[in-house]
Amino acid sequence: MFVSSLREPPRRAEPVERIRAVQVFETRPMTVQEMITGFGTARCMQQVVVSAQVSGEIVETLEPFKVGQAVQAANVKVDQQGRSVSSQGDVIARIDPQNYQEKLDQAEDRLKEDQAELDRLAQEKQNLQKRLQIQQRSFDEYQKEYDRVSRLVQQGVLSESNLTTAELDLRRYEDSKVQLETELSLLPVRIQQIEARARTHRNDLELAQLELDRTTIRSPISGRFQEIHVERGQYVSVGSPLVTVVNSRQVEIPIGIRLHDYQKLSARITSGDYPEVELRANRNDSFVWKGVVSRAAPVADASTRTVEVYVVVDNDEFETPLLPGTFVTVSINGPVYENVYPIPRDTVYQGQVFLAEDGKAVRRDVEQRTVLESISLIENSLQPGDAVIMTNLDILEDGDKIRIADEGTQSLKDELLRLRLPTLRVVDPGTLER
């Protein structure tokens, strides 16, 4: 027992100081622009189904009458001398005009008959007026004769029989005058009837001319045939579709974006400062189409909580056009943030980050401007070159010793490459087009 008391107690092992391997994110101030992303399918801004407006047999079509054939609409151009030169455009098809030409000829004949009747009534009016003038003069003369005979009868020079004869002659001329006046007074009614009939026939003529014109079918827009619905020799009725014409010089892509993203664009869209857009057929494509957000739906979709905006692309500006039906990835230029430090959002917890300083983890408060998906924008809190710790954040304490792992330093470029759809891009403030 004495011997055991002389034994030395076992030595305690000195605690080994733990050094944690971490990955860091290198920061620097920059100007970035938020990219509001979405997807959509391109469609033509102009698409017309040309239909028959009269019935009949198709007797002529444009050659070649095939899908993809270009057609020109009517237009007016100014030549080098400043004169306006009009073009009626291409004839797509022609319906047999024979029946409509006959209807037009018949309408013209009826109108000519009406005009001939009006001319005859006008001549009849002149004749009646002349006869009435003659009859009036004769009546006036017989009135004078009657008055003379009446005085002579009163003087006893002539007998009552002479007065009776003079009165009969006067009444005969008076009756003739009244008859002419009656015929003349009825002429305006007859003329009005013929004029009303002529107006009806003139309307018939205009309708017949319109129907004849409609046998020649032209495209209301310039573009290309997308669909052919008829063939030569086929009978068509009013409303039958003939061809579908599309103009793909400008295409439109409807995009559904979140409400809070729309709020960032609405003022610009309303004011006409249309946000610029980049479009790709695939996320990694190097070829980019560019367009603008031209308008937005007046109401939001309550089920998806999105607002539809419409992107317009002018295909004349690109060697390779954006074809209707193409599914595209869209990036809309959003707000610009100047002098901010982009860092991974997961590195920020309760307004703080860990920095790697002199081999230690140092906690620092940061001021977060906004969050763009997986990236936080920090302002007034970091310095150029600060290394924000990205890993082991759940076990780190302020002052813990750390070491940066091999290839453990990342940058914003690495973070953007990792994202399927980058939510921001770095811009040069001097060349940025707002």
* pLDDT at res. 140: 85
Residues 6+ apart with CB under 8 A from 379: 339, 340, 341, 367, 369
Shared domain for 104 and 90, answered yes or no, is no
Write down the pLDDT at residue 387.
94
| Residue 90 and residue 239 share a domain | yes
CA gap 289, 151 in Å, rounded: 113
Closest residue by Cα to residue 388 from 404, 374, 368, 373: 404
Do both 366 and 272 map to the same domain? Answer: no
Q: What is the DSSP letter of 106?
A: H
Residues 156 and 90 in one domain: no
Cα distances (Å, whole numbers) of residue 161 to 150, 170, 173? 11, 14, 19
The model's pLDDT over 20-39, given as tens digits with 9 standing for 90+, comes to 899 999 999 999 999 999 99
Q: What is the CATH number of the domain that holds 400?
A: 2.40.420.20
Question: Do residues 141 and 155 share a domain?
Answer: yes
Using 50 as the pLDDT threshold, list the residues of the chain that sit under it.
Answer: 1-3, 430-434
CATH number at residue 305: 2.40.30.170
Rounded to whole angstroms, the Cα distance separating 284 from 287 reads: 9
Radius of gyration of the chain (CA): 48
Q: Report in angstroms the alpha-carbon separations of 11 from 7, 14, 88.
A: 12, 9, 107
Q: Are residues 196 and 55 in the same domain?
A: no
Q: How far is the C-alpha of 342 from the C-alpha of 376, rounded, in Å?
A: 6
pLDDT of residue 16: 56
Q: In this structure, are 320 and 376 located in the same domain?
A: no
Structural domain containing residue 394? 20-33+336-426
How far apart are the C-alpha atoms of 161 and 140, rounded to whole Å? Answer: 21
What is the tens place of the pLDDT at every residue in 205-232?
999 999 999 999 999 999 999 999 999 9
88 in Cβ contact with 76 (< 8 Å): no
Q: What is the CATH number of the domain that holds 232?
A: 2.40.50.100
Residue 184 has a CB neighbour count (10 Å cut-off) of 16
